[in-house]
Amino acid sequence: MIRCENVKKRFGDVEVLKGIDLRVEAGEVVVIIGPSGSGKSTFLRCLNYLEKIDNGMVHVNGKLLGKREVGGRLVEDKEKHINKLREDIGMVFQQFNLFPHMTALGNVIEAPVMVKKMSKDQAVKKGLELLDKVGLKEKANEYPNRLSGGQKQRVAIARALAMNPKIMLFDEPTSALDPELVGEVLQVMKQLAKEGMTMVVVTHEMGFAREVADRVIFMDGGYIVEQGPPQEVFTNPQHVRTREFLSHIR
């Protein structure tokens, strides 16, 4: 579902990603952990080309993302084509990014109506189903300022699901939440994993990683340092940096 080859990204003189190779299979849940500044969130944003990569290739669902071949060389793709491929990739951010002037339902139906040209009636029907799925059907007509952080994040998940993505990316989706609200968001994510959604999750929630991940990736200094099943990575890490990192968060 995702194939990355030698992905590099720099901001000015700082090389944040130093050559990432990764494959994610359909239905796989991959959780990325690591210290702040290791490149985790930048890498996630490269997977839907919110960040343009400086080197390498990203294939999503068998299609090259962000670049196209012209005369035997790769050139930057047109934004229109990139946006079309992005429709297969849902993304949930740390800060919710809901439209404050729209209700919960309005936030969920906006993209299907505007981008996919879905009828308003059809979008509302599906939007209510998705809000029900995340446990918020009764909040459909509430505005974001009347919702808790956990409720906002669940609306954001419903909004991403409204485009019928094949892949869901989560960028530290619980880091902005009060501790007592984290569980309600993780519960929705666990349900998505059970349903077979392909997911790449950047998180500090080690319990979630242990319970839900098919594979845990430890990043440090712009590299993938170690990866494997959660049981192996958490109980018998092979790399010294992984051991150091885990020793500080247990």
First to last CA, the chain: 32
Mean pLDDT score of the chain: 95
The predicted model gives 112-125 an average pLDDT of 96
In percent, the amount of the chain with pLDDT more than 90 equals: 92
pLDDT at 187: 96
Which has the closest alpha carbon to 126: 150, 101, 91, 161? 161
Residue 250 pLDDT exceeds 70: no
Rounded CA separation 11/41 (Å): 14
Bridge partners (DSSP) of residue 76 are 67
Residue 241 pLDDT exceeds 80: yes
Whole-Å CA distances, 97 to 23, 47, 53, 139, 214: 29, 19, 24, 17, 28
Rounded CA separation 242/223 (Å): 12
The count of C-alpha atoms lying within 13 angstroms of the C-alpha of 176, restricted to the half-sphere facing its C-beta, is 17
